[in-house]
Every structure is written in C-alpha cells, then in structure tokens.
Amino acid sequence: MMTAHISLPVSRGGLGKYLRARGRGRGGRSAEFHQRLAKELQKKYSWRRLRSNADRYVELEPELNFDGEEIREPEVDLSSFLARQRLSDVSETTVVAVPRKGRVQAIEWDAELEEMSREKGAADASRDLKARFRAKSEKLKAKPLFSRDRKQGRMITSNYSEAPTLPTDAPKAPKVEMETFLDELLG
C-alpha cells in the first residue's frame, strides 16, 4: 500500500515557499478583490483624457457689448511709474557687489554695529552658560549620588577635607550664652 507524503521544505525558515507553491489557498485575496481594485483605479484615473492638447489652445470668442463690439480692457499706462523709478536715486533693492580680490574695504563702526556686537556677545555668553549647565547635568546623571560604600553605612572621607574653622569672638561659656539669649528674647 502506497501512501502519499507531502514533503515540507526543510531549508531555512518558514512555510513561505510552500504556501506560494500551493497558491495561498486560504489566506489569499479573491479574484473579486482584484477586479474591484482594477475598477477603482480605472475610476480614479478616468478624468484624464489622453486625446490631444488642442482644447488647451482654443481661443475663446471675445465678449461683445450691446452694440456688438468687442469688450477690451483698458491698457495700463506704466510710463509714469517707470519715470518715478528712474528718478529714484536710492532703490530699496540695491545689491551690494562683492569686492574683487585684493581690494580692502573699511567698515564704519557705528552705534548699530556696536549694539549688534553687544547682542552677539550676550547671546554667545548665554549659549556657553547653557552648554556648561547641560554638561554639568550630564555629568551628574552619569555619576551616582550614593556610592555602594555609603549605602552600606561606611563614609568615604578620602575625597573630602575638613574646612577650617571660621574666626569668631572668644568662645563664651554655655551658661553666659543662654543668659544673653534669654535677655535678647525678653528684652
């Protein structure tokens, strides 16, 4: 008695090749879907007429007034505008030409340039300060606040030195200190 064995692919990975060879019986899309998709695409691009561009260049018939004459727009007189442009000494859109090599130009230092340089200095200073704070915060984030030794109860004092005592008046006896405190409080 012969039994039919279906051999599954044993090579690298999944059932992709096997399912493609079977034609994706269960999970594939139906033929109706492909027809519907084709109809949607046809409808989407149906407004495009692929005939000729002749309709783009058709000149419309001129509008006629009640006398039967063609209505024309009056021409705009630009001569006065052009004359004003010629008379204008300083144009707002003046382009400063780049000097040739070797020619040195002197820049006049005025109040506006002074103000701009001050603003630039202030902006640079604030940018540097922000960068330093960012670097400091990054350093603090990277460095743990509590070391393992402190968590266990041992204090590490090798990194820290004792601050010197501040100069004060001659030390008073505790009883005298208490009396002065009470006198100030009551008095």
Task: Kindly state the DSSP code that residue 54 receives in the 8-state scheme.
Answer: G
State the pLDDT at residue 61.
84
Amino acid residing at 37 = L
Query: Would the CA dihedral through 110, 113, 119, 125 be positive or negative?
Result: negative
Task: Kindly state the DSSP code that residue 70 receives in the 8-state scheme.
Answer: B
Vertex 38 angle, CA 32 and 42, to 5°: 145
The gap between the terminal CA atoms of the chain, to the nearest Å, is 121
For residues 24-36, give the mean pLDDT.
Answer: 65
**70 touches 62 (CB < 8 A):** yes
- Look up tokens 């090798």; give the residue: 158
> What are the domain boundaries of the chain?
113-141
Q: Which of 164, 163, 181 is nearest to 172 (CA)?
A: 181
Structure tokens at 41: 């695409």
Distances (CA, A) of 161 to 12, 45, 59, 156: 66, 82, 96, 11
For the stretch 168-177, pLDDT in tens is 767 778 888 8
Q: Is 137 helix (H, G, I), strand (E, B) or coil?
A: helix
Longest dimension (CA), the chain: 122
For the stretch 100-159, pLDDT in tens is 677 777 778 888 999 999 999 999 998 998 888 888 777 777 766 565 555 555 555 556
